[in-house]
Chain A
Amino acid sequence: MAKKFALLFSMVALLAIMRSLPALAFNISSTDFFVRGDVGYNAGNSTSTDFGLFSNGQLDAQGISLSGDFQIIPGILRAIFQPVQPIYTQIHYHWRNDNGSETSATSATGGIEDTALTGLAQNSSTRVRMEITNAGGTIFSYSPQSFQLQYGQLSTTCSAISSWTAVGTGSAVWSMYNSGNLTDGQNTTNIATSTGGVADANHTFIVSNAGVKTTSSTVSAISVPSDSFIEMEFDVQALTSSTPGATYCFRLTNVGSASRFIYSQYPQATLSLISQSITLTLNAPTVNLPALAPGVAVSATTTATVSVTGATSGYTVSIQRNSATSTLASSSITFPDAAVWNPSGSTCASGQGNGTTTPGNTFSFRVASSGTTANYCSFWWGASDSGGTALYAGVPTTTQIIVNSTSSASQNGTTVVTILYSANVPLSQEATSYTGGVTITAIANP
């Protein structure tokens, strides 16, 4: 009897090893014994006159973790059904906007993972989060993997692509983007799918992963144990040398080797047909207003030069202050802000905007007519730059449009927006130096 039993398990184990995926069900009967596994719950139970439980150490053969995506079985079942080699499965991805930190950036596909990105402009940074799970084993051919991001241009299917190129190397048309929102080598966290994360495809998330990549496309070598998964996020952009309108597929390899990799999902990005770019250059990183005697307003101007190509609908310039408390401050001493700017819409129209001709003893700004070659909006900023006519507003806490330029030069060319900062304070404002930051953004209209 014991020989029969040993032979039976040896056959099952051999079958399991030969398969690329774990065998999760078993069903066998004998006049001497009975073994049954429930496929739905992956629980084993057995009865026999010769043996009781067949899990290790006489433990119950219940699975220890159940999911629609993965199962983990313990004891002798694990030994029988676990493949011996690792199986690195590229199982989920999610395109994210490069508009925040590793945790705060938003989904570029409406919070839906495994969704292709479309309409991506050349030279526009975006982020792809990818998940690798080891659904296999760690006995043979198990070693740290240096996951490297590769791309290939789609012709028929991603799996049919024969030529893959590492992102950011040589003549690659995709490069890494060193975004200020991320730090190369920082760890990814297991964020929710709604904000750009991916579903957990295995039992254990590898926390220490150095999976955020902005300067190189290769993650530091890391071991992915059985029953574990790793999430990596790459900040990339398609260069001008890429093909407008083309679709590119992405995959991870072990520095070019796809051995023991399975690709369930390929991230895909389709570039917009029209090559579009926009640059924003300020004339100075710092604006120093003249020394301010309370009651006597001072002002200073700065220019934002916007160069665009392929922006068929022009562009917008927006502004926001970097502190929710006040634009300017000296430690905890705040400088009063004017009522924050609200354009009441994205287009210049009569009756819109909340600018005032009398900003009073505050810090305020306006777009100046003089020196602005883009679409100056008199409804927003006044008929002229003259006192009593010019309109001022406080720098908003959230980005708000201050110029919506649709002229031909705003579609392909260079235009200038002149911004005037103005400050005044009451006599009681503490005499000291105040400083603060604003963020100016130029966006090509969709």
Chain B
Amino acid sequence: MKKLSAASVLKVLSVFVSALVIVGFIANFGGRVSVPTARASTSTSTTQTINVTVNQVITLSLGTSTLSLPALTPGAPVTATTTATVTTNANAGWQLDFNRNSATSTIASGTITFPDATSFNGSNATTTANLANSGQVLAFRAYQTGTSAGIYNTATWGASDAAPMWAGFPTSTQVAVSTSSYIGTPNTIVYGVYANSPATQVATNYTGTITVTAIALP
């Protein structure tokens, strides 16, 4: 049996941050508009309406550009976590998407692929036990601990970090975390990667990239 000697099995080489800036103009011509009229008087007043639209802005920063997992001994899963921080003024909330950058596998070593868990579709994360039974795979999840209050979704990622749910990185963007209302302060999301492999997995260094995208909702 080959031993995985690589110190790092996952390397996030790049992070593509996409911020969707949405400009919404809402006409505001409510009853407070007064048509200016020339009114004869030694004292005359006119009301003027002023409108301004504040555009949405959003920024995303990752705690680390590269996430290195501990050396993996087949059969003994390893995990590592990092953070994503979303700051936005979006009044309808925002979402954080994940996708892997290779359709073949999230991480690979040349042509040698590392098995992925079932791709996340928004609601199919599974327990650690199920993950282990599926064939020792690469998976990810959002963590409750360290994630800003009100953002962590227990239905998607488990009731707590003690009962986690995992899913494979999707080949196309999937919403992993979202909010539907304005939060004026920076939001931190802790997410982590789980890796395990069968004894037959070629011992080498595996690397790959994922893309994390923050979107301000219209």
Q: How far is the CB of A368 from chain B (nearest CB, A)?
A: 16
* A441/B216 contact (C-beta < 8 A), A292-B54, A294-B54, A430-B89 known: no
A427 touching B49, Cβ below 8 Å: no
Of the candidate stretches B34-42, B117-125, B160-168, B196-204, the one touching chain A is: B34-42
Contact indicator A425/B33 (Cβ below 8 Å): no
Tell me if B185 and A433 are in contact (CB < 8 A).
Answer: no
**Shortest beta-carbon contacts, A-B, top 6:** A282-B36, A289-B52, A435-B28, A123-B40, A433-B26, A431-B56
Residue of A276, A291, A307, A333 contacting most chain B CB atoms (<10 Å): A291
With a cutoff of 8 Å between Cβ atoms, the chain B residues found around residue A423 in the complex are 52
Q: A278-B44, A281-B38, A437-B32 are in contact. Are A432 and B49 (CB under 8 A)?
A: no
Nearest A residue to B39 via CB reads: A279
**Is there a chain A Cβ closer than 8 Å to B111's Cβ?**
no
Q: Are A431 and B32 in contact (CB under 8 A)?
A: no
| Contact for B28 among A302, A421, A428, A433, CB less than 8 A | A433
> Which chain B residues border A284 with CB–CB below 8 Å?
36, 48
A281-B36, A282-B48, A285-B35 are known contacts. Are A431 and B54 too (CB-CB below 8 A)? yes
**A427 contact from B29, B39, B57, Cβ within 8 A:** B57
Q: Are B57 and A294 neighbours in the complex by a CB distance under 8 Å?
A: yes
Q: Does A209 contact B (CB under 8 A)?
A: no
Whether A428 lies near B184 (C-beta < 8 A) is: yes
CB distance from A442 to the nearest CB of B (A): 6
Closest to B23 in A: A291
Give the distance in Å from the alpha carbon of A211 to the alpha carbon of B216 in the complex: 56
Count how many pairs of residues, one from A and one from B, have CB atoms less than 8 Å apart in the complex: 174
Supposing A285-B34, A428-B89 touch, asked if A434 and B49 sit within 8 A by C-beta, the answer is no
- Asked if A45 is an interface residue, CB under 8 A from chain B, the answer is no
A280 proximal to B (CB < 8 A): yes
Give residues 302-360 of A contacting B (CB, 8 Å): 302, 304, 307, 311, 322, 327-328, 333, 335
Contact partner of B55 (CB less than 8 A), chosen from A291, A307, A428, A444, is A291
Is A440 an interface position by the 8 A CB rule?
Answer: yes
A288 partner residues in chain B, CB cutoff 8 A: 51-52
- A328–B50 touching, CB < 8 Å: yes
> Is B133's CB within 8 Å of the partner chain A?
no
Q: Is the CB of B50 within 8 A of A436?
A: yes
- The smallest beta-carbon distance between B94 and chain A, in angstroms, is 11
**Residue A383 at the B interface, CB < 8 A?**
no
Report B-chain residues with C-beta under 8 Å of the C-beta of A278. 40-44
Q: Which residues of A are found within 8 Å of B182, using beta-carbon distances?
A: 430
B169 to chain A, nearest CB (A): 30
Instruction: Show the binding face of B for A, using Cβ within 8 Å.
Output: 22-26, 28-30, 32-57, 59, 87-91, 182, 184-185, 216
Q: List 24 A-B contacts (CB under 8 A).
A: A123-B41, A124-B41, A280-B38, A280-B44, A282-B46, A288-B52, A289-B50, A291-B25, A291-B54, A292-B53, A322-B47, A429-B89, A430-B184, A431-B55, A431-B56, A431-B57, A431-B89, A431-B216, A433-B52, A435-B51, A435-B52, A436-B49, A438-B47, A443-B42
Q: For chain A residues 413-433, which have a beta carbon within 8 Å of chain B? A: 421, 423, 425, 427-433
Residues from 88 to 126 in A contacting B, C-beta threshold 8 Å: 121, 123-125
Chain A residues within 8 Å of B34, by CB: 285
Is A285's CB under 8 angstroms from B53's CB? Answer: no
Number of interface residues of A (CB under 8 A): 56
The reply to whether B48 and A438 contact each other, CB–CB distance below 8 Å, is yes
Q: Does A46 contact B (CB under 8 A)?
A: no
- How many angstroms from the CA of A307 to the CA of B40 in the assembled complex? 9
The answer for the CA separation of A43 and B34 in the assembled complex, in Å, is 59
Chain A residues with CB below 8 A from B26, complex form: 432-433
Binding site for B on A (CB under 8 A): 121, 123-125, 237, 276-294, 298, 302, 304, 307, 311, 322, 327-328, 333, 335, 363, 421, 423, 425, 427-444
Q: Which of chain B's residues have a CB closer than 8 A to the CB of A444? A: 42-43
A273 to chain B, nearest CB (A): 14
Q: Is the CB of B45 within 8 A of A430?
A: no
Within the complex, the shortest CB–CB distance from B190 to chain A, in Å, comes to 22
Q: Are B91 and A277 in contact (CB under 8 A)?
A: no
Consensus secondary structure, chain B interface: loop
**A121, B53: Cβ atoms under 8 Å?**
no
Chain B positions within 8 Å of A121 at CB level: 42
Residue numbers in B under 8 Å from A281 (CB-CB)? 36-38, 46
Contacts of B48 in A (CB 8 A): 282, 284-287, 302, 437-440
Residues of A within 8 A of B57 (CB): 293-294, 427, 431
Interfacial chain A residues near B28, Cβ < 8 Å: 433, 435
Q: How far is the CB of B88 from chain A (nearest CB, A)?
A: 8
Cβ-defined contact, A291 with B42, below 8 A: no
Give the distance to chain B from A292, nearest Cβ to Cβ, in Å: 5
A-side contacts of B55, CB under 8 Å: 291-294, 431
Most chain B CB neighbours (cut-off 10 Å) among A125, A281, A292, A430: A430
Nearest residue (CB) in B for A335 is B52
- A227 to B134, alpha carbons, bound, how many Å? 98
B-chain residues with CB within 8 Å of residue A286 when the two chains form the complex: 29, 33, 48-51
Residue of A287, A327, A432 with most partner-chain B CB within 10 A: A432
Do A427 and B53 contact each other (CB < 8 Å), given the known contacts A281-B36, A437-B48? no
Knowing A289-B52, A291-B53 are in contact, say whether A431-B42 is a contact too (CB < 8 A). Answer: no
Closest Cβ neighbor of A292 among chain B residues: B54
Is the CB–CB distance between B54 and A425 below 8 Å?
yes
Residues on the B chain within 8 Å of A431, using CB: 22, 24, 54-57, 88-91, 216
CB proximity of B217 to chain A, nearest CB, Å: 10
Chain B residues in 8 Å Cβ range of A433: 24-26, 28, 51-54
